[in-house]
Copies of this chain bind each other. A is one copy, B any other.
Amino acid sequence: MICVLSGGTGGAKFVDGLRQVMPAEEITLVVNTGDDLLWWGLYVSPDIDSITYVLSGMLSRERGWGVKGDTFLCLQAMGQLGEPTWFHTGDRDLAMHLLRSRLLAEGKTLLEATAVISQKLGVKARVLPMSNSRVETRVDTPIGELSFEEYFVQRWYQDPVKSVRFAGASDAEPAPGVIDAITNADAVLIAPSNPVTSIGPILAVPGIHDALLHTRGKVAAISPIVGNAPVAGPAGILMEAHGLPCSIAGVAHAYEDFLDVLICDTRDSRAAEVLRQTGLRVQCTQTIMRSAEDKAALAREALSLVAPSLEPASDTSFRRLDRQP
């Protein structure tokens, strides 16, 4: 069993590779819920959605979020009703939020609701929210404290960031199965997600950091930073606000307590050399995932470093028929 800690965008791309090179049944995902929001009265969990969509083959690869081929007529109609429209929920995508919201209103936990939806969409991997409790990533800016989606989507991450906190984290518990999935994994992979606002909330849930210290498998992280810039999104700004340099050294520092291997881009080979002097194992490879082949190659590389027994003999073993660039 492989356990993957993941956010939405970069994480979904990485998971898209992983499902090509190993059986989905052997993957457990522990997913950030710090971005979750109430939108139009519905409970939306952006990272769980992206992971679920990629695992069910529904993800829009053009956009990197939402359902492929989706339309936005309800959004347009909400705008006509004077409701906010900055968070883009497609018409097909709404079904996910409607069903999850109804399940939660009926008393199901987020874990249970996620399991119901996974089962209905034929998702074979196990998708676990980091917690059933509400943990909210809050970004402090000169205009006040924003939710992550307000900061990221509504305001295009243009505000200077003073600090980031995870409201509710200290009282949260890991969702049932999370600690066991990490502790007993053959390997733990940290997806190339934002270390502060995608992986940070997961690590802030009491017990998860400890489980990573004591897992019987090796822990590898894929750096979302190449050179001195994130591959996408505001990771750089947020890392610096969190006292971490925007570099592979910053990523290594974020995970230093439990990290066995850092996987970084070949363009960082010089920085990798410096980092190796601290005793950390650092592997350079191509981390930019443009095609299905790129994704599969990165997943295979990551597996070979931490769980060589799981690496498939042939690179076609688990290839899916629906792979697309």
Whole-angstrom CA separation of A102 from B120 in the bound complex? 27
Residue A208 CB within 8 A of the other chain: no
Complex: chain B residue closest to A102, CB-CB: B41
Interface size class of A (residues with CB under 8 A): 20 to 34
Q: Is A77 within 8 A of B102, CB to CB?
A: no
Question: Contact partner of A91 among B41, B91, B99, CB < 8 A?
Answer: B91
Instruction: Report the minimum CB–CB distance from A50 to chain B (whole Å).
Output: 16
Q: A71-B71, A73-B70, A81-B99 are in contact. Are A41 and B92 (CB under 8 A)?
A: no
Residue A121 CB within 8 A of the other chain: yes
Question: Contact partner of A81 among B40, B73, B117, CB < 8 A?
Answer: B117
Q: Is A73 within 8 A of B91, CB to CB?
A: yes
Residue A98 CB within 8 A of the other chain: yes
How many copies are assembled? Answer: 2
Whole-angstrom CA separation of A121 from B78 in the bound complex? 11
Q: Is B78 within 8 A of A98, CB to CB?
A: yes
Residue A101 CB within 8 A of the other chain: yes
Residue A153 CB within 8 A of the other chain: no
Residue A67 CB within 8 A of the other chain: yes
Query: What are 27 A-B contacts defined by CB distance under 8 Å?
Result: A40-B98, A40-B99, A41-B102, A42-B98, A67-B77, A70-B73, A71-B71, A71-B91, A73-B73, A73-B91, A73-B92, A74-B74, A74-B94, A74-B95, A74-B98, A76-B92, A77-B91, A77-B93, A80-B95, A80-B120, A82-B120, A83-B95, A83-B98, A83-B99, A91-B91, A91-B94, A94-B94
Q: Which residues of A are at the interface with B, using a C-beta cutoff of 8 A?
A: 40-42, 67, 70-71, 73-74, 76-78, 80-83, 90-96, 98-99, 101-102, 105, 117, 120-121
